Amino acid sequence: MAPPSPYLAGAPIQLQPLSFTWLDGHAIELAALRLDQVDPELSGNKWFKLLHHLEAAAAAGAEGLISLGGPHSNHLHALAAAGRRFGLRTVGLLRGHPQDTPTVQDLLDCGMALHWLGYGGYRERYQPEFWAPWQARYPGFHCVPEGGGGLLGALGCAELVAELQQPLEAFGWGDYHGCWLAAGTGTTLAGLVLGEAGRHPVYGALAGPGEHAVAATVATLLQQAGRDDTGYRLFDASRRGFGRFDPELVRFMRDAEREGGMPLEPVYTAKALMALREQVRAGFFAPGSRLVFVHTGGLQGLRGANLDAVLQAEPGPGAAETGREKRPAASRRQG
């Protein structure tokens, strides 16, 4: 295994025991790997996805980093904070039209230069000519794919498996039977599969529809890393769609936060935990299983959401919006 990234802060990640009433009677032990606590500014899976991008930028002598995302993006938030901390300029290409969100405020505070692309302009991001004008405008900047994806992103998340060993020991678990986490693009999941190398299965709870796209992304990343598929499984956790919240989800999240003693957010982590409850109830895990719930962070993105409005909304398809702007379905992603 590669040596740990020099950008890793060195503070061990906490593994926290979780007890929920819905675990009672199933003889399943659950602990959360608190990536949300890794660092006050650089938190969650987005930080691990950036590790090797930072190394690549340093190796290339890049003056800065350029990437894209939405106005609540956890990825741009981590990127902007990393740029400030490690002395790299950062440029963010944003989806939609200028708006003021707590995330955007933080990006500006970190000194990130923002360019709003509109929705149409943002959809162009997969076109081969998309990057050329930005590379001309910011010569030598290292381009980071949306969400910190790609093989470099996955390899950063592979380090999580090694990071897990120390807290596991402190926790008194000799071994565990699998990791459960939220999946957006599947990059983080692919990294865990690479890090596990078949030792434990990895379970991904899909935060949005599109199991095929996620499976294809994971397959591509494993292939690029020169590895076979060594054991993962996807579960639907998307409920009404990516970034959509319903009253049952919000109530579940609030109960889980209270019982579990850890904060969650509704886009990824609460949906993932709710899908885990479903599988526990369905008897998917054998009694005696010890599971690691990877808390992928994302709490900063919650600041823009009005969850009380969700609870007050009439249940029914499409009734519970997030309190955020309606976005075209194809680009409704947090990145």
Nearer to ligand PLP, 167 or 184 (CB): 184
Beta-bridge partners for 33: 15, 294
Number of H helices, E strands in the chain: 11, 10
**Closest distance between ligand PLP and the C-beta of residue 274, in Å?**
14
* Eight-class DSSP state of 13: P
Q: Which of residues 104-163 bind ligand PLP (CB under 6 A)?
A: 147
What tokens does 94 get?
A: 């944003």
Collect all residues with Cβ–Cβ distance below 8 Å to 188 and sequence separation of at least 6: 45, 48, 49, 153, 154, 157, 181, 294, 296
Euclidean distance between CA atoms 111 and 89, whole angstroms:
8
Q: Where are the beta strands (DSSP E) in 82-135?
A: 89-94, 113-116
**Closest distance between ligand PLP and the C-beta of residue 265, in Å?**
7
Nearer to ligand PLP, 45 or 322 (CB): 45
Q: Which stretch binds ligand PLP (CB under 6 A): 3-11, 41-49, 54-62, 123-131?
A: 41-49
**Closest distance between ligand PLP and the C-beta of residue 328, in Å?**
19
- Is residue 46 near ligand PLP by the rule CB under 6 A? yes
**Closest distance between ligand PLP and the C-beta of residue 147, in Å?**
5
Nearer to ligand PLP, 56 or 313 (CB): 56
Question: The dihedral of CA 142, 148, 149, 154: what is its sign?
Answer: positive
- Is residue 322 near ligand PLP by the rule CB under 6 A? no
Q: Which of residues 55-84 bind ligand PLP (CB under 6 A)?
A: 74
Nearer to ligand PLP, 130 or 232 (CB): 232
Catalytic residue among 5, 43, 67, 73: 73
Contact status, residue 305 vs residue 291, Cβ threshold 8 Å = no
Q: Which of residues 153-212 bind ligand PLP (CB under 6 A)?
A: 182-189
**Closest distance between ligand PLP and the C-beta of residue 212, in Å?**
15
Nearer to ligand PLP, 16 or 187 (CB): 187
Q: Which of residues 297-316 bind ligand PLP (CB under 6 A)?
A: 297-298
- Is residue 90 near ligand PLP by the rule CB under 6 A? no
Identify the residue whose tokens are 């929920």: 20
Largest CA distance in the chain: 61
Using CB under 6 A, which of 47, 138, 252, 268 touches ligand PLP? 268
Collect all residues with Cβ–Cβ distance below 8 Å to 192 and sequence separation of at least 6: 157, 158, 160, 161, 179, 181, 202, 232, 294
Contact status, residue 157 vs residue 217, Cβ threshold 8 Å = no
Binding residues with ligand PLP: total (CB under 6 A): 18
- State the residue number with the nearest CB to ligand PLP: 298
3-state secondary structure of 136: helix
73 is catalytic: yes
Positions marked active-site? 73
Residues of this chain that interact with ligand PLP (CB under 6 A) are: 44-46, 74, 147, 182-189, 268-269, 296-298
